Amino acid sequence: MSGGARLRTGADGRARCWWCGDDPTYVAYHDDEWGRPLHDERALYELLCLEGFQAGLAWITVLRKRPALRVAFEGFVVERVATFGPDDVARVLADPGVIRHRGKVEAAVVNARAVLALAESGSSLSALVWAYAPPPRSAWLGDDDELPATSVEGTALAKELRRLGFRFVGPTTAYAFMQSAGLVDDHVSGCWRASS
């Protein structure tokens, strides 16, 4: 597939990765968030949770439910979510505005506790995940319309996260997280957001 076929020109005249289509929510996410280096602990925790919520769903579903998820999880403030008990999980699961999957909701709580354990050990989620960032590379030049679903680094990151007690962090989720958090730049060559 040619580079042009992997690009989509928006109403603003900018060429973008094809996957964001023309949905304003998706375009804004592509332009303002996806692939931009992220180091903030709270934001990384939120993104890791959202990637876990995405498992089996379209990312646009997560983006549309993100405002309600932020309310339900008290802004994804790690210290708050780490204190969630059974009543909090039941409250979240009763909210029709969120993705109501018990395993994913419970994983968000477990993962908050794992982030706090990292801090108590003198590390951080940011330090951990960025240790798995591959060397910078040129914009993605794949020969079909599918972005990579995983990588050696994503698989290694998933393994380490699971070892540390994180849940809903398989290799595909870990790699999607790496793409979203800017550890890798998988913008298509020619996309206005691509680094090169």
In the block, which residue shows the tokens 């289509």?
Answer: 21
At the topology level, CATH places domain 3-180 in: Endonuclease III; domain 1 (1.10.340)
Is position 51 annotated as part of the catalytic site?
A: yes
**What's the CA gap between 79 and 41, in Å, rounded?**
11
Q: Is the pLDDT of residue 2 over 50?
A: no
- pLDDT for the residue 135: 84
Whether 59 is a known active-site residue: answer: yes
Q: Report, as an integer, the average pLDDT of 113-133.
A: 97
pTM over 0.85? The answer is yes
Express each pLDDT in 166-182 by its tens digit.
999 999 999 999 999 99
pLDDT level of residue 1 (50, 70, 90 thresholds): very low
Q: Please say if the pLDDT value at position 140 is more than 70.
A: no
Given 46, 51, 132, 153, which residue is catalytic?
51
Q: Which of 26, 34, 59, 175 is catalytic?
A: 59
Domain boundaries, the chain: 3-180
The reply to whether 175 belongs to the active site is no
What is the share, in percent, of the chain residues with pLDDT greater than 90? Answer: 78
pLDDT digits (tens, 9 = 90+) for 87-99: 999 999 999 999 9
Question: Which residues are 52's β-sheet partners?
Answer: none
Cβ contacts of residue 149 below 8 Å, gap of 6+? Answer: 172, 175
Q: Which helix (H) or strand (E) holds 123?
A: none
